[in-house]
Amino acid sequence: GAGVSQSPRYKVAKRGQDVALRCDPISGHVSLFWYQQALGQGPEFLTYFQNEAQLDKSGLPSDRFFAERPEGSVSTLKIQRTQQEDSAVYLCASSLGEWESSYEQYFGPGTRLTVT
């Protein structure tokens, strides 16, 4: 079956531009997560949705980062006025249920963002 898909796979933005990254989770998955992975590091949590509700956004590094999941399926991570330090791979993950089953997160291939 189809896994988590992300688009675009690669994005080059000039400093100051806005970008939008898309995530299509596995069909029927309630929970959706965004992570940021810098080169040579493990993923770091950004934000979490349960259906359309954003339950945790404690990892968003600044108010330039915004995520939404308006219909409880597809999610978009938007970064305004991109800075060089935003260069990273942005990973989306989804999981089937809530709470106890949420540890089984399935990851997409990521979007590699390069800010020049």
Give the footprint of other proteins on this chain (CB under 8 A).
4, 31, 33, 35, 40-45, 48, 55-56, 58-59, 91, 93, 99-100, 102-110, 112
CB of 71 to other proteins, least distance (A): 20
CB of 16 to other proteins, least distance (A): 27
- Residue closest to 108 by CA, chosen among 12, 22, 18, 13: 22
Any idea how long the chain is?
116
In the bound state with other proteins, the residue whose beta carbon lies nearer, of 75 and 105, is 105
In the bound state with other proteins, the residue whose beta carbon lies nearer, of 44 and 68, is 44
In the bound state with other proteins, the residue whose beta carbon lies nearer, of 31 and 82, is 31
CB of 61 to other proteins, least distance (A): 14
Q: Would you give the distance in Å from CA 116 to the centre of its chain?
A: 21
Q: Which residues contact 53 (CB under 8 A, 6 or more apart)?
A: none
CA dist list (Å): 3 to 27, 67, 81: 8, 21, 31
CB of 72 to other proteins, least distance (A): 16
Q: Would you give the distance in Å from CA 39 to the centre of its chain?
A: 16
